[in-house]
Amino acid sequence: MAKVTPNAAAADVEDGSGLPTPESPPLPTTLAVMKVACRKNAFLAMKRGRFIAGPFQMCIQLGFTVMMYYIFQGIVEDVERESGVRLGRFLMASFMPLNTLLGIAFSMNPAVYDIVGEKDQKMKILQNIYGLSENMYWLSWYVFYLAIAFICLVLIYICWLAVIPVLDTVNFFISLIILSTGFVQSMALVFCLSIFIDRPKVADFVMSFVTMIIVCGSSGLQFLTREATWIGWVGGFIPFCNVFQALTSMLWLSAARSCDDSGACQFIGVNFDTLWVTDICMLDYYPGVVPCFEQAEATIFPLGWAMLLMVASTVSVVILVWWLSHVRQGQYGMAKPMCFCLMAKYMCPKRVSVSSDASQQDTTAEGRCVLSIQHLHKVFGDGKVAVDDLCLESYSGEIFALLGHNGAGKTTALNCAVGLIPPTSGETYINGHHVRTDLQRARHQISICPQDNPSYPEFTVRQHLKFFSMLRGVAESDVDGQTSAILKALGLEEKTDSQCGKLSGGQKRRLWVATALIGASPVSFLDEPTSGMDPSSRRELWDLLLRMRDTGRCIIFTTHYLEEADILANRKAVLARGKVQAVGTSRELKHRFGVGYRLTLALSPDGSAPAGELQRFAQEYVPSAALEEGADEDVRQVNITLSFEEVDKFSSLLQALEQSQERLGVLDYILGMSSLEDVFMALGRQAEEEAKRDEGDRTPANVDFQEVEAESPVTQPRAESSEWRNIKAVFSLRLCAIKLNRFRASMVIFVPILLQVAGLSLAGLGSTQSDGGTNGYAIAVYPAMAYGISLINSASDVVADVKNKCKYVSISQGLTPRAYWLGSFFAHASLLLPLSLSFTVLFFAMRPASIPIQSAPLAVLAMFAYPIPTTLAIYNLASAFSTAESVSKIVPALLIATILLPGMAVWVLSASFIPASLSDVAMAWHIAHSILNPCYCLPGVMSYLVNVDGPKNLSAGEYFGSLSALPLYMMPVTSALYLANLIRLDTKSYKNKPAKPSGERATADDEDVLAEEDRCRQAAAADDAARYEKLSHTYRVADTGSRPAACAHCTREYKYVNAVRDISLGIQKGECFSLLGPNGAGKTTTLGILTGEIRNPSAGKVSIFGHNMAHEKERISAFDLLGVCPQVDPLWVTRLFCCGAKTSDAG
C-alpha cells in the first residue's frame, strides 16, 4: 500500500486524485491485528475501570477471608490451648476454597459484559468485517484477562503468605498450577457463556444467577466433596467444581498432621510426594499408643487426581470455546457447519472466477465485476420471507442504489452480502471470494456503514477511525493523514477529539461513512448513509462519494431519499416484498415504468379553462396526453402526462400553449420527466398486485402503496386514566415479561424452588432437634438465597426501565410515579409468592429435624412476609445504578453480604460446637441485623431457630415471644422506611439543580423572533398549548479528552456546553409547529425539557396549557394532556404488541 503524507492525503480527497483504488488492500499481519485489538481492550478497560474492578472483587473476597481468619483465631484459641487440637487451619480450609472461587469468578465476570455488549451493539461483527478474525478476537480477550488474572494472583499470594500463613507448607508450583488453571477455566467458561448470550440484560441476569448458584452449590458441597466417593469423581469433571475440589484438597492437606512413634508431629504439607494422600488426621496423635480418634479422621479426594481432572476440564472448555465461536454466531454473523473443521472448503478455501448469473439485470456496466449475488434467499425464524431469489451484480467504478419501501429487504440483502447475517440459501462472491466458505478474505475486500450507529462511547473520533483503519491494514504512519483528509471532506474536523458517545445522530452517520471510505476497500456498503444528516452534510457526502467512484471503487448504498439515488447512483435496483422488481439507470427505469413526461399548469385564480378543456387542448398536439388520476376541477394546478413515444411532438404543444396561455388562464407551466418516485410507486403497486394474486387475502397490504384520504381524519376518544388502571397496566407488563420468556420464568421461579429443596434436604443430614448438625446452616441460608435470585430480576427491571427511557415515556403519557411503583411491587411480590408457598409445602413434607414443628407458624409467617421489605430494599438499591452491568456485579455481592454472611455468622457463633462464651456475640449480631438489615429477616429467624431457640422445645406462642421472632417484628418498620425513601428519591430528581447558564445572553435581531418574545411576555401562558419563557439549558459533561486514560476515574474535570440559550416562544392551540436546525442545534434538548425527559432547565420556565412543569401537581396535570414520540424509540422489548396495548390504560 502506497504511503502518503498527511498534507498529500488531504489534497487527494479534495481533487479526487490518488484516492483508494479498487484493488484489494494488503492483508495486515496477524501480529499487527492482535496488537490493535489488545490496545483497544486495554484502553476500554482503563476507561471502564476493569483494571480496578476485577482486583477489587478479589480484594473483597480476600478481605472476608482475613476477617474469618481472625474470628476463627479468637474462637479456637481457648480450645487449642486446652485440648491441643489445632482446628484453626481446618476451619480456614473449610471457608477459603469458596471465597477464593468466588474471587476468581467475580474478577472474570466483567468479560461477559464486554463481549455481550460488543455483540449487542454489532461492534464484534463489525470488527470481524474490518479484519479481526474470530480466532484473533477471542485470543485478544484471553490476553487481556490473563493480565487481570496475574494481578489477582499477586493479591492472593500476598494475602496467603503475609496475612494468612496457609502456604508455608505448600509447594509454590502446585499452588500456582491450581490457581492459574482456575483463572483460565473461569475465563473460558465466561467466554463460553457469552457465546450463547446476545443481550446485555440476559447476561446481567445469567451472571447473577450463576454467581448465586456457585455460592449455594459450593457451600453445600463443603463436606460432601471431601470424600473420595463417586461425588468427588463426578465433581472432577464439572467446571468450577473441580477447581473448588482442588483448592479444598490442597488446603486440607496443608493443614494435616503426621506424627511418629516418639510423638513428634509435623505438617504433611503439599508437595509432589503427597499428591495422592487420601487419609489425614486433624490433630496430633501417637501411633501405636493414642491413634487418631474417629472424629479427627478425614478422607480427602486425591490432590493429584483433582489437578489432572481440573487441567483436562480447562483444556476441554478452551477447545469448546474455539469450536462454538465458529458454529454459533448468535444474532449477527455467519455460522459454520458443525463439522467445519473436517471440510476442505472451509479450512482451505480457494478464490473462484465469477460469471454473470444475474437474471434480473437488464443493463451492463463497464468495469470488473466485484460483487455477484446469485439467487439469494432469506427466511427468518417466524417464516417471513425477507429476500426472495435476489440476483444482482455490481462493477468497479459504479455507485449502485438499493431502493424499496420499509421492510422491502434492502438492509437484509445488504447484511447477507457482507456476512452480517447468514442467508437461507444463495451465493455471494466479492472479488471472487465466496462469502460463506472464504469469509475472512471476502470481508477483507469490503467496508460497511451499518444502518445504526454503533461505537465505543469512550473512543474519540480519531481513535475510532484509527482502530478500524488499522484493522483494515492501513499503515500506522498513514492513519493520521487519511483520517484528517476524510474528516475534512465530511465536515467533522472540529469533532476529531470528541468522544463518539457525545456526537449527535448526524455526526455519527458521517463518522461511519468516514470509517467505510477510509482505506482501500474495493467495495463499500453504505446502509442509509445520509439518514439523520442535515442538508449541508448530505451535499458534502454526495461530492465525496462521486469522487470515490471516479477512483474505481464500487459503492452500494440503500436510501429512502429517491432524489439522492437519482443524482448519485449509476444504476438502481427497486425491491418490493423481497424481490427485485427492476434494475437499470434512472432514464431506463423512468422510460419503462414511469408515467412519461409531466406538464404542470399553474392556473389563474381569476378564471381559467376547465381541466377537461386543457386536456383536449393538449391532445390536439400530443394524442396520448391525459390528466393524472385524482385531478379536480376546482384545483389551481393541473398535471397532464405525456408519453415518451411522442416526445417529438412536444415542441408544437409548447408553442401553442405559449400563444394560448392568456386565453386558457394559465399563469405558468413546467415540463419535466416523471420522477423516480413515480417509478417507485408504480413498481410497488405492481408487487402488491402480484402478491395479492399469488396469495390472496393472506398477504397483508403494504400501506406505503395505498392511497390515503387526507380529508377523512381518524378521531379517537381520549382514554380516561385512573390510578387503579395505571397500576394494572404496569402489573400486566411485568408479568408479560415472565410469561413470554420461559428461560426467565425458570430462573425466577423454578430454580429458586429447587434451591429450597436442596437447602431443606441438606439441613436434614446428620441433624437432630437438639443439634442442628454441621449442615443446619442450609435451612438458614438457602431459602433466603432463593429469594435473592428473584430479587435480582426485580432490580434489573427497574434499571432497564430507566436506561431505556420506558419509565420516562410512560410518566409523560400520564402514568403516575406512585402507580408505577405499586404496579411493579405487586408484580414482583407475586413472583415471590410461589417460593413462600413451596417452602410451606416442603417444610411440612420433609420435616427437617433442625427446626421443631412447634416453630413452623413463625417460620412460615416469616417466609410470606419476607418479600415485602426485600423488594422495597432492592428498589432503593436499584435507584443507585444506571446499567445492567452494575446490577449483575453489585447486587449479587450485596445479597451475599446481607443474606449469606450474617446468617452464616449467627449460625457459626451460636453453634453447639462453639464455646458458650460467644453466644452473647451471636445475640448482639442478631439484634443489630434484625433492626438494620431487611435482607436478614428470614435467615435471622431460621438461624436463631436452628441453634438457639429451636432446641428449647418451646410452644408455638412462646416462639413468637423469643428473639427468633425479632426480625419478623422489624419487617414493617424497615418496609416503611424504605418506602418513604423510595418516594423521596423519585421526587428528588425533579428538584435537581442543573448547571447554571454560562456565557453571555443570546440576543436576537430578527423581527419575528423579537415579536414572539414580546408576545410571550405579555400573553398568559394558558393561551398557548406549550410555552417557553427565557429558556436556557447548560450541560455539565466530564472533560476526559485531554486526560490520560488511566486517570479517567481518578480526577473530576468538567466542561459546560450551552445547548439552549434564552428561548422564548409559544406554540398555539391547533398549530403544527416544527423545530429545525443542523445537528447539535439543540432541538432534542428543547423538546426534552418540554416532555420531562430533561428535568429542570438551567433557567427559564416551561408550561403546557398553563401548567408549570416545575411544580409537581401541575406537571402531573400537564402529562395528562401530553403525548410523546421520543427520538430513541423506547419499548419494552420483551413484550408482545398485544401486551403493550394494555398500557393504554396508563394514559
Give the pLDDT score at 184. Answer: 93
Q: Is the model's pLDDT at 138 over the cut of 90?
A: yes
Q: What is the band of 1010 on the pLDDT scale with cuts at 50, 70, 90?
A: confident
226 and 130 co-located in one domain = yes
Q: What is the band of 943 on the pLDDT scale with cuts at 50, 70, 90?
A: confident
C-alpha cell at 71: 474470628
Name the residue type at position 140. S
Q: For 342-361, how does the pLDDT look when each residue is reduced to its tens digit (9 = 90+)?
A: 777 777 776 655 544 443 44
Q: Is the model's pLDDT at 840 over the cut of 60?
A: yes
CA distances (Å), origin 375, targets 392, 421, 570: 9, 16, 23
Q: For 865-880, how does the pLDDT look when each residue is reduced to its tens digit (9 = 90+)?
A: 998 999 998 888 888 8
Residue 691 lies inside a defined structural domain of this protein: no
| Alpha-carbon gap, residue 186 to 181, rounded angstroms | 8
Report the pLDDT averaged over residues 306-315: 91
CA distances (Å), origin 501, targets 456, 458, 508, 1091, 1131: 7, 7, 9, 23, 21
Residue 217 lies inside a defined structural domain of this protein: yes
**Domain region containing 232:** 49-248+312-326
Q: Is the model's pLDDT at 834 over the cut of 60?
A: yes
Domain total in the chain = 5
Give the pLDDT score at 293. Answer: 56
Give the pLDDT score at 1098. Answer: 76
Report the pLDDT averaged over residues 709-734: 68
Residue 921 lies inside a defined structural domain of this protein: yes
**Helix axis angle, 134-158 to 110-120, nearest 10°:** 160
Q: Is the model's pLDDT at 208 over the cut of 50?
A: yes
167 and 72 co-located in one domain = yes
Q: What is the band of 222 on the pLDDT scale with cuts at 50, 70, 90?
A: low
589 and 600 co-located in one domain = no
For the ranges 91-100, 955-964, 1046-1055, the one whose mean pLDDT is highest: 955-964
The CATH number given to whatever domain includes residue 1019 is 3.40.50.300
CB count in 10 Å sphere of residue 23: 13
Q: What is the band of 696 on the pLDDT scale with cuts at 50, 70, 90?
A: low
Percentage, residues of the chain above pLDDT 90: 8
Alpha helices (H) along 933-1031: 937-944, 956-960, 966-988, 1007-1018
407 and 319 co-located in one domain = no
Residue 880 lies inside a defined structural domain of this protein: yes
614 and 759 co-located in one domain = no
Residue of higher predicted confidence among 879 and 718 = 879
Report the pLDDT averaged over residues 514-543: 85
Q: Are 104 and 243 in contact (CB under 8 A)?
A: yes
Name the residue type at position 787. Y
923 and 1030 co-located in one domain = no
739 and 669 co-located in one domain = no
Q: Is the model's pLDDT at 800 over the cut of 70?
A: yes
Residue 144 lies inside a defined structural domain of this protein: yes
806 and 859 co-located in one domain = yes
Q: What is the band of 262 on the pLDDT scale with cuts at 50, 70, 90?
A: low
- The sign of the torsion formed by the CA atoms of 961, 965, 969, 972 equals negative
Give the pLDDT score at 150. Answer: 94
Name the residue type at position 1018. Q
Give the pLDDT score at 700. Answer: 58
Give the pLDDT score at 1124. Answer: 76
CB count in 10 Å sphere of residue 964: 27
Going by the DSSP 8-state scheme, the letter that residue 582 receives in this structure is E
Show which of 987, 1022, 1051 is a domain's final residue.
Answer: 987
pTM: 0.74
355 and 219 co-located in one domain = no
Show which of 326, 358, 391 is a domain's final residue.
Answer: 326
Give the pLDDT score at 72. Answer: 67
Q: For 908-941, how does the pLDDT look when each residue is reduced to its tens digit (9 = 90+)?
A: 777 665 656 667 777 888 888 888 888 888 888 8
C-alpha cell at 674: 416523471
Q: What is the band of 176 on the pLDDT scale with cuts at 50, 70, 90?
A: very high
Report the pLDDT averaged over residues 222-244: 69
Q: For 720-732, how does the pLDDT look when each residue is reduced to its tens digit (9 = 90+)?
A: 667 788 888 888 8
580 and 613 co-located in one domain = no
C-alpha cell at 35: 496488537
CA distances (Å), origin 899, targets 142, 687, 798, 870: 34, 63, 21, 11
Give the pLDDT score at 1066. Answer: 82
Give the pLDDT score at 1046. Answer: 42
Q: Is the model's pLDDT at 905 over the cut of 60?
A: yes
Q: For 452-499, how does the pLDDT look when each residue is reduced to its tens digit (9 = 90+)?
A: 888 899 999 999 999 999 988 888 888 888 888 888 888 888 888 888
CA distances (Å), origin 167, targets 55, 89, 252, 269: 21, 11, 11, 9
Pick the range with the lowest mean pLDDT from 134-148, 957-971, 973-987, 1075-1089: 1075-1089
886 and 909 co-located in one domain = yes
- The sign of the torsion formed by the CA atoms of 622, 627, 633, 636 equals negative
Q: Are 276 and 304 in contact (CB under 8 A)?
A: yes
CB count in 10 Å sphere of residue 339: 9
Q: What is the band of 89 on the pLDDT scale with cuts at 50, 70, 90?
A: low
Give the pLDDT score at 100. Answer: 86
Cell 427437617 belongs to which residue? Answer: 848
For the ranges 478-487, 585-594, 950-959, the one whose mean pLDDT is highest: 478-487
The CATH number given to whatever domain includes residue 610 is 3.30.70.260
The whole-chain average pLDDT of the chain stands at 77
Show which of 593, 615, 643 is a domain's final residue.
Answer: 593
DSSP string, 16-54: -TTPPPSSPPPPPPHHHHHHHHHHHHHHHHHHHTHHHHH
What secondary structure, in 3-state letters, does 394-422 show?
Answer: EECCCEEEEEECCCCCHHHHHHHHHCCCC
C-alpha cell at 111: 468479560
Percentage, residues of the chain above pLDDT 70: 77
Q: Are 181 and 101 in contact (CB under 8 A)?
A: no
1048 and 1017 co-located in one domain = yes
Q: For 1023-1051, how does the pLDDT look when each residue is reduced to its tens digit (9 = 90+)?
A: 788 888 888 888 776 665 544 444 444 44
Residue 1122 lies inside a defined structural domain of this protein: no
Report the pLDDT averaged over residues 1107-1116: 75
Q: Is the model's pLDDT at 774 over the cut of 70?
A: no
Q: Are 1012 and 1066 in contact (CB under 8 A)?
A: yes
Q: For 542-584, how does the pLDDT look when each residue is reduced to its tens digit (9 = 90+)?
A: 888 888 888 888 999 988 888 888 888 889 888 888 888 888 8
For the ranges 449-463, 840-854, 980-994, the one whose mean pLDDT is highest: 449-463
Give the pLDDT score at 154. Answer: 93
Q: Is the model's pLDDT at 104 over the cut of 80?
A: yes
Q: What is the band of 180 on the pLDDT scale with cuts at 50, 70, 90?
A: very high
3-state SS assignment for residue 153: helix
Residue 811 lies inside a defined structural domain of this protein: yes
| Alpha-carbon gap, residue 767 to 39, rounded angstroms | 56
Residue of higher predicted confidence among 207 and 292 = 207
C-alpha cell at 473: 491494514
Residue 663 CB partners (closer than 8 Å, separation 6+): 609
Q: Is the model's pLDDT at 310 over the cut of 80?
A: yes
Give the pLDDT score at 155. Answer: 93
Give the pLDDT score at 37. Answer: 92
The number of angstroms, rounded, from the C-alpha of 758 to the middle of its chain's C-alpha atoms is 33
DSSP string, 616-684: HHHHTT-TT-EEPTT--TT-SEEEEEE-GGGGGGHHHHHHHHHHTHHHHTEEEEEEEEPPHHHHHHHHH
Q: Is the model's pLDDT at 330 over the cut of 90?
A: no
C-alpha cell at 469: 483503519
Residue 705 lies inside a defined structural domain of this protein: no
